[in-house]
Amino acid sequence: MFQPALRTLAILGLLAYTSFAHRDEEVITRDIAIIGGGASGTFSAVRLRDQGKSVILIEKESILGGHTNTYQDPVTKVPVDYGVEVFHAQQIVKDYLDRLNVSWVVAPNFGVGSIYLDGQTAQPINYTSPDLPVARWQELLQPFGDFLAKHPDINNASLTIFRFGQGLGDFLVQPTLYVFKNFGLEIVQALSTGFLAVTSQNNYEIYDHATKLLGSDVLLSSTVISTLHREDNGVTLVVQTPSGRRIVKAKKLLIAIPQKLENLRAFDLDHHEAGLFGQFKNTGYWTSLVTNTGLPAGFNTISVGADTPYNLPNVPLVYAVVPTAIDGIFDIKYGSQSSLPDDHVRREILSYVKKLQDNGFAEKVEPEFVRFNSHTPFELTVSPEKIRGGFYKQLYGLQGYRGTWYTGAAFHTQDSSLLWNFTESHVLPGLLK
Ligand SMILES: Cc1cc2nc3c(=O)[nH]c(=O)nc-3n(C[C@H](O)[C@H](O)[C@H](O)COP(=O)(O)OP(=O)(O)OC[C@H]3O[C@@H](n4cnc5c(N)ncnc54)[C@H](O)[C@@H]3O)c2cc1C
Ligand SMILES: *[C@@H]1O[C@H](CO)[C@@H](O)[C@H](O)[C@H]1NC(C)=O
Ligand SMILES: *[C@@H]1O[C@H](CO)[C@@H](O)[C@H](O)[C@H]1NC(C)=O
Ligand SMILES: *[C@@H]1O[C@H](CO)[C@@H](O)[C@H](O)[C@H]1NC(C)=O
Ligand SMILES: *[C@@H]1O[C@H](CO)[C@@H](O)[C@H](O)[C@H]1NC(C)=O
């Protein structure tokens, strides 16, 4: 109800801004302003530029890459990818990496040699991985737990599906649709034919090369602090950068950050937009590298549940403790059904390592974080009722509304390759027009 008044204020603000207040402020004029330099935003910037559009990519962190986390041993320079690991061997991925001069290989399966431990107590569990069945696809709106109960023929696959669905929170209550979007045909195929991996095993190479390619078309450590105008005839944004404020004027806007209301406050949402984005719930997901654990080299676990349906572990939990290419450093990931404070998650991870020590897997020493990253909000979901009621139809209906387009996992799925494919075929055409 305050929207028109706010809009008027914003326009007055724009006049005041441009005519009096900050006369010296640099104005950046481009065809397309892109918000968020993760998988989708960076891809969009490269592809739009290559097709003759001028772009500006605005990323709040000091590097591009979003969920990509790469740590390099300061001495040996050995890289460890503890965020995004692998891609699909699709043409779009090969073309994109070739464009960025990033060498790739199609590698055999990854993630072998783990032992099963209880997700809460870190005690060994008498669990053997069952044979994988052929999946059946239907009744996608029911909670995944109900779906499994009705389909005993895929029960054997539940823990494998769970491993690929890290970050999806409580599997048994999530609508089945989200589970299968994360464990779709491409994943099933890649399990036998192999995933595509960056040869150097340093996924940040993609974003390092993209940063160099994009040059001054990237604003790092920058955020949009307000929107002065956003309509079919263009957008005007105020952006805070490390070297002061900039006015960004663009014909079109592409929002490639997780579309939660709290992330979109600076974009002057109207009631229709806010009403849709306000419906998203989110899970929590964290990555870390931990040293001085007391664990023996090669220690490798997957969390399961002792007395839970299908041996799926309860959330929140440590998903797995996996050795890395760097001696003494373990990759530990954590997940929850909704957001949690980072400090709480840090304590939970360290307390799990202590449990491993108490349970005799490790010597009693003081574990320390080498890296800790929040990927929260991770999976954005709405209820089955909302999906049935046409939520996604309305969400997709926002493409192009008020000069604004959207991409990213909330519009498709948490998978870089599939997001590049989706962005290329369903989002960029609207921006290229
Ligand atoms: C631990 C982990 C492992 C994964 N492994 C794989 C894998 O092996 N293969 C795979 O394909 N996918 C993997 N994924 C999923 C993949 O990372 C995501 O699907 C993909 O990154 C989503 O891309 P996106 O563009 O939607 O968002 P993101 O990559 O998250 O990008 C969003 C970007 O927006 C920035 N941002 C946020 N808010 C603002 C703001 N207000 N202003 C400016 N910038 C902002 C963020 O800093 C970020 O850079 C993994 C994810 C995680 C967390
Ligand atoms: C995009 O995905 C579809 C469906 O998986 C696939 O058939 C197509 O080849 C992909 N496109 C490219 C360019 O890789
Ligand atoms: C890729 O390599 C070619 C040939 O060396 C070079 O001309 C080009 O600038 C490089 N591009 C990127 C994005 O690194
Ligand atoms: C583990 O489970 C199998 C099959 O359920 C059973 O035969 C075996 O005795 C169990 N082992 C232990 C140590 O409990
Ligand atoms: C499930 O796994 C068990 C044990 O490995 C096996 O006997 C059974 O045939 C599997 N079921 C299906 C449907 O594949």
Note the pLDDT tens digit of each residue in 22-45.
556 799 999 999 999 999 999 999
Distance, in Å, from the CA atom of 387 to the CA atom of 401, rounded to the nearest integer, reads: 21
356, 374, 392 - which closes a domain:
374
Q: Do residues 368 and 238 both lie within one domain? A: no
The answer to the question of residue 358 being in a domain is: yes
Indicate which CATH number applies to the domain containing 307. Answer: 3.90.660
Cβ–ligand 5 contact at 358 (below 6 Å): no
For 401, phi then psi, to 5°, come to -65, 130
Residue where the block lists tokens 């724009």: 14
428 assigned to some structural domain: yes
Residue 11 has pLDDT above 60, yes or no: no
Q: Whose CA is nearest to atom 6 of ligand 3?
A: 101
Q: What distance in angstroms lies between residue 425's CA and the mean position of ligand 3's atoms? A: 25
* Cα 198 to middle of ligand 4, angstroms: 41
Does residue 93 lie within any of the structural domains? no
**Residue 136 clears pLDDT 80, i.e. is over it:** no
Q: At how many degrees (to 10) do helices 39-50 and 204-214 cross? A: 40
Whether 184 and 295 map to the same domain: the answer is yes
Asked if residue 102 belongs to a domain, the reply is: no
Residue type, 267: F
**CATH number assigned to the domain comprising residue 48:** 3.50.50.60
Same domain, 303 and 173: yes
Q: Domain total for the chain?
A: 2
CA of 85 to the centre of ligand 5 (A): 29
Position 192 confidence tier, pLDDT thresholds 50, 70, 90? confident
Q: Do 333 and 390 have their domain in common?
A: no
As a whole number, mean pLDDT of residues 1-10 equals 48
What residue's CA is closest to ligand 5, atom 12? 133
Residue 197: which residues within 8 A CB-CB, separation 6 or more?
85, 86, 87, 104, 105, 106, 107, 110
C-alpha 352/C-alpha 286 separation (Å) is: 14
Q: What is the pLDDT of residue 129?
A: 73
> Which residue shows structure tokens 């990818």?
81
User: Which residue's CA lies nearest to atom 38 of ligand 1?
Assistant: 257
Contact 316, 139 (CB under 8 A): no
Name the closest-CA residue to atom 9, ligand 3.
Answer: 213
pLDDT in tens, 310-352: 999 999 999 999 999 999 999 999 999 999 999 999 999 999 9
**Smallest CA separation from ligand 3 atom 1, residue:** 101
For 127-179, the DSSP string reads --PPPP-------TTSBHHHHHHH-GGGGGGHHHHHHHTTTS--TTTSBHHHH
pLDDT at 8 over 70: no
pLDDT of residue 111: 55
Range of the domain at 23: 3-67+204-279+384-432
HSE-up of residue 35 (Cα within 13 Å, Cβ side): 27
Alpha-carbon span 204 to 33, nearest angstrom: 23
160 vs 297, residue with greater confidence: 297
pLDDT digit string, tens, across residues 88-131? 999 999 999 999 999 999 976 655 678 889 888 999 888 877 66
Domain assignment of residue 214, yes or no? yes
From the list 430, 432, 397, the residue with the least C-alpha distance to 51 is 432
Pocket residues: Cβ below 6 A from ligand 1:
35-41, 58-61, 66-67, 83-87, 167, 223, 256-257, 263, 285, 287, 375, 408-409, 414-417, 419
Element (H, E) at 47: helix 39-50
Distance CA 258, CA 381 (A): 11
Instruction: Give the ligand at the shortest distance from the Cα of 155.
Output: 5
Let me know: does 420 contact 92? Beta carbons within 8 Å: yes
| 29 falls within a domain | yes
Per the CB < 8 A criterion, the answer to whether 384 and 142 are in contact is: yes
Residue 273 and residue 344 in one domain: no
- Same domain for 159 and 306? yes
Mutate to test the pocket of ligand 5, among 129, 131, 161, 311 (most ligand atoms within 8 A of CB): 131
* Contact (CB, 8 A) for 67 and 86: no
Query: To the nearest whole number, what is the mean pLDDT of the chain?
Result: 91
Domain identity same for 123 and 258:
no
| Residue 9 sits in the same domain as residue 57 | yes
Asked if the structure places residue 87 within a domain, the reply is no
Together in a domain, 182 and 161:
yes
What are 251-271's pLDDT values in tens digits? Answer: 999 999 999 999 999 999 999
Same domain, yes or no: 348 and 394: no
Whether 129 lines ligand 5, by a CB cut-off of 6 Å, is no
d(CA 292, CA 364): 10
Q: Is residue 94 part of a domain?
A: no
If asked whether residues 172 and 216 sit together in one domain, one would say no
CB 292 within 8 A of CB 368: yes
Report CA(357)–ligand 1 centroid distance (Å): 33
Asked if residue 163 and residue 127 are part of one domain, the reply reads yes
| Verdict on whether the full-model pTM lies above 0.85 | yes
Compute, in angstroms, the gap from residue 12 CA to the centroid of ligand 1.
36
Beta bridge partners of 162: none
Q: Which residue has the higher pLDDT, 400 or 132?
A: 400
